[in-house]
Amino acid sequence: MKALILIADGFDDLQLFIPWYRLREEGVEVTLASPSGKPVTGMHGYRVAAYLPIREVNPAEYDLLIIPGGDSPGALRLREEAVDVARTFMDEDRRVATVCHGAQLLISACALNGRHLTCAPEIRDDVRGAGGAYHDEPMIVDGNFVSCRGQDELPDFCRALVATLGVRT
């Protein structure tokens, strides 16, 4: 089982580290990809090394895509290679998980039409404008798509991730 996490500078530290380590606890191989493949810095100053640049990502090699929030999705949505990866996962109805502002990348990928999700309240109108069905809920599971409003809901989010992958809970 392999998961891909797309990150750029300004990622929300908790929204990266909690799902990343939770999946590792379950034996999931997790790959971090950044725009350049170089280390990136979170909102609270933590630096993490990416394993590869996004342009080298082959979506077919992964079972799950995770997009943490913070300022990272706003930067990723400006990178066509990141938009292409997100679009591929959504178009193929593969497992995708977003936290907080993570849905911004899916908006740019034109991949929310008819999908039910939650997100940071600040982008709910953008989600609706992109055709998504916004719900003011802590977490939403819509088929292979899991979305989470923010940090407070990360425990439920991680349980849902583990459940969608079919590994033990």
Q: Is the dihedral of CA 152, 118, 12, 86 positive or negative?
A: positive
**Residue whose entry in the numeric block shows the structure tokens 């999931």:** 28
Tell me if 65 sits within 8 A of 6, measured CB to CB: yes
Joined together, the tokens standing for residue 37 give 């493949």
Selected catalytic residue, list 44, 101, 116, 135? 101
Joined together, the tokens standing for residue 156 give 């439920």
Q: Are strands 116-117 and 133-134 parallel, antiparallel or unpaired?
A: parallel
Helix residue ranges, H only, the chain:
13-25, 72-76, 80-91, 103-108, 124-129, 154-165
For residue 44, indicate whether it is catalytic.
Answer: no
What count of Cα atoms within 13 Å lies in the side-chain half-sphere of residue 125? 1
Catalytic positions are 101
